[in-house]
Each structure stands twice: as structure tokens, then as C-alpha cells.
Amino acid sequence: MFNQVFKNKRVLVTGHNGFKGSWLTQWLSLLESDIFGIALPPLTNPNHWDLLKINLKKEFIVDINNFDKVKTCFEASNPEIVFHLAAQSLVKEGFISPQKTWSTNVLGTANVLECCRLSKSVKAVVVITTDKCYENNEWTWGYREIDRLGGKDPYSASKSSCELVVESYKHSILNPNNKIKYATARAGNVIGGGDWSSNRLIPDAIRSVTRGDSIELRSPSSTRPWQHVLDCISGYLLLAENLYLKGNEYSNAWNYGPEDSARKTVEEVIVDLKKHIPNLTWHINSKQATGESGQLHLDSSLVKSKQRWRPVWNYDKSIYETAEWYNMWIKYNKVNTKNNINNYIKDATKEKLIWTIN
Ligand SMILES: NC(=O)c1ccc[n+]([C@@H]2O[C@H](COP(=O)([O-])OP(=O)(O)OC[C@H]3O[C@@H](n4cnc5c(N)ncnc54)[C@H](O)[C@@H]3O)[C@@H](O)[C@H]2O)c1
């Protein structure tokens, strides 16, 4: 897969020990990359990263707000490919700590990109933002990459600002020979095993099951597009491959959303999860959560036509694999991540999504 681009390549992942970062790092490890990671100590206990026990070339426990330290990490790792995932990633935390959210998501991103610019090795940079970077007009149709950026809460606004930081590096802060190719990747509500973040639906549901109580649903009728984490990660890897091998035409913003059939309400997700986790129970708090949008989803036509990416696991499969991941962990203390990746690759191959460039 991926034209062997990642094999023996020096790859730096910021946020490697977070939910998405740990899945990406596991997949890169299967692709035999030399992986370096920058993050804070794991934010939850338990956490996916500690369960995976992946061998990194070097791990840097460094705050991306500290430019000098981030620069030292780049000098010590000389990466060719950078995936920037480190962020204050939670909408609710954005209301509690807006300045930290702005600082990490905007200035932290500027620090990482400045280190990329100063580095002699970096060739491709994929910056992970979110579907929430768009100005949300509560449209029933999907947002396209050309739609206006916005964000009414600190998290969303900081992520759309992060998009602008990347734009400025791409267009005006030139690096020697313009050798670095930057792109941003926008995705929505991601599910999969190994997430224990607060105030996310599936982690909250699993916590309620392990505690033996019932989960409170704050916005049961809010509709979201639900997507398995591997569908996101395959998109990020493909984007890095295209940036690395082909360059400029991929140096853009890209949406990675699931199919329309994966747009479900919060309550529907819980009902479907219960089919695989019978102990799950819930109750509804009819007060709408502050500042959360009713609906928002992405139009992913661009990436489908230009990069031949599309979701491999549909909604039912994504819910099933997520539930089974947690069932294996709860019942047998087993971590199903590598199996999930290998099965996902088999399914992608069956669908002739082998992601090589002709
Ligand atoms: N999980 C989702 O549903 C989702 C949806 C859309 C976008 N995203 C974006 O994807 C990226 C990864 O999200 P996630 O779900 O894995 O988040 P996460 O909260 O699980 O992990 C965040 C990672 O960032 C690191 N980090 C946070 N602050 C840092 C700092 N100051 N210095 C260094 N490292 C720091 C953490 O240590 C951790 O490794 C984020 O940019 C997030 O905004 C996530």
C-alpha cells in the first residue's frame, strides 16, 4: 500500500499518543516507518497508546507551545514527512480553557510549521483540522472545501484559524526551493476503539458500561456523520503519499467524510451500539448542550475524484468494529487494533482501493 512511501522513512507524528495519533502510529509501524512522536503525557487513563506498546525511534514529551523545544525535536529527528495532530481536541474543553485552545491549536501549529520550514529534511506536511472549521449555517447539504471558514466556539474557531496558518505557510512564507508541500485534512466525528476522551459519545458510553451506570444523552437528536478512525487515517496516509510523490496539486485542503447513510442522531448511535454491547443503558437530558451545532457534514467529492479515496467501512461495520474493540478490551483485556488495521486493509484491497499512484 501507499507505494512503499512510508517504508524506512523518517516520519514525525505530533499527538502520536492521542486517539487518532495512536492509530496512525500503529499503521505507520506496520508500514515499517522510522517514527518520531511529539506529545504531552497521555491525557487519559487507560489510554490506547500505552496499551499498544509501539517502538518509536524517539518519543519527545514536549509542549508544542514551546518553540525552542519543538525545534530541538525536529533537529533530533530530521523527518521527511510530518503529520500534525497535536491539539486541544475537545469542543467542551474549548469553553473551559479558551486561551489554551487558541494557543495550542493556532500558535502551536505555527511553531510546528516554522520548524518544518527551518528543517532541511521535511518534504510533506499533513495538518489535521476538522469539519468544524467551516462557518456552520445548519445547511442540510455537505460543506465543500471552497466554503467559508468560521467557528462560533473556541475549538472550531481555533481550528479554522489553524487552516489559515497553513495557508500563509503555503503561499507566502517560502521555504528554500519551495520544497515543502503542505495540506490540511478535515474530518468529522470519528469512532473506533481506544478512545477514552471526555465528552465524546462512545467513550462516555463505554465508561458508563464499565461503571455499571447509564449514559446521559445531552443532544439525542443532533445529527452527526460517524466515521471509523481507519477511514480517516487511510485518507491522511494517502494524502501524505500524494504530497510526497506528486506535490503541488495535492497541496490543498481536503474533506474526508463518510457516506450520507452514516449521518445518524446521537440516540441512533447509542441504540445501534447496544446491539453489540447489551449492558449499555441511557437516559435523556432534554437541555441542548451549549454551543453545539445541530447538524454539519462534509462533501467529500473532491478527494473521491482526485485521490480515489473513499470510506471502506460503512456505518454498521464501523459501529460493530468499535463495539467489538471495547468488548475485547473489557472481557479479555485484549487490544484489537492491529487486527482492525489488517482487516481494514483486506477490505480496502477487495474494493480495489490499493492506494497506489499509477
Ligand atoms: N477525534 C475526533 O473525532 C476528531 C474529529 C475532528 C478532528 N479531530 C482532530 O484530530 C486531531 C487528533 O485528535 P484526537 O481525537 O486524536 O485528539 P486527542 O485529544 O486524543 O489527542 C490529542 C493529542 O495532542 C497532544 N497535545 C495536546 N496538547 C498538546 C500540546 N500543547 N503539546 C503537545 N502535544 C499536545 C496530546 O498529547 C495528544 O497526543 C486533533 O487535531 C483534533 O482536533 C479529531
Longest Cα–Cα distance in the chain: 59
Q: Which of 23, 54, 89 to mutate to test the pocket of ligand 1 (most atoms within 8 A of CB)?
A: 89
2-350 belongs to which CATH class? alpha beta
CA 178, 184, 185: angle at the middle one, nearest 5? 150
Q: Report which of 128, 129, 314 is spatially closest to residue 237, judged by C-alpha positions.
A: 128
Q: Is the pLDDT of residue 176 over 60?
A: no
Residue 138: the pLDDT is: 87
| Average confidence (pLDDT) over 250-266 | 96
Cα separation of 344 and 338, whole Å?
Answer: 10
Pocket of ligand 1 contains residue 19 by CB under 6 Å: yes
**pLDDT, average across residues 312-338:** 97
Q: Say which residue, 99 or 3, is predicted with more confidence.
A: 99
91-115 pLDDT, tens per residue? 999 999 999 999 999 999 999 999 9
**What residues contact 204, with CB distance under 8 A and at least 6 apart?**
198, 215
Range from 155-159, 178-182, 308-312 carrying the lowest mean pLDDT = 178-182
Q: How far apart are CA 6 and CA 244, in angstroms?
A: 10
Of all protein residues, the one whose alpha carbon is nearest to atom 34 of ligand 1 is 39
Distance 85 CA to ligand 1 centre (A): 6
- Would the pLDDT of 177 be above 70? no
CA of 108 to the centre of ligand 1 (A): 12
- The pTM score is 0.96
pLDDT score of 355: 65
Q: List beta partners, residue 184.
A: 127, 253
pLDDT band (50, 70, 90) for residue 288: low
pLDDT at 250 over 90: yes
Q: 358 falls in which pLDDT band (50, 70, 90)? A: very low
Q: What percent of the chain has pLDDT over 70?
A: 94
Residue nearest to atom 31 of ligand 1 (CA): 63
Segment (H or E) for 14 = strand 10-14
- Domain-by-domain residue ranges, the chain? 2-350
Q: How confident is the model at residue 47 (pLDDT cuts 50, 70, 90)?
A: very high
pLDDT tens readout for residues 59-91: 999 999 999 999 999 999 999 999 999 999 999
| Shortest-distance Cα residue to atom 26 of ligand 1 | 86
Is there an atom of ligand 1 within 6 Å of 193 CB? no
**Would the CB of 108 count as within 6 Å of ligand 1?**
yes
What is the band of 333 on the pLDDT scale with cuts at 50, 70, 90?
very high
Q: What angle do CA 64, 248, 238 make, to 5 degrees?
A: 70
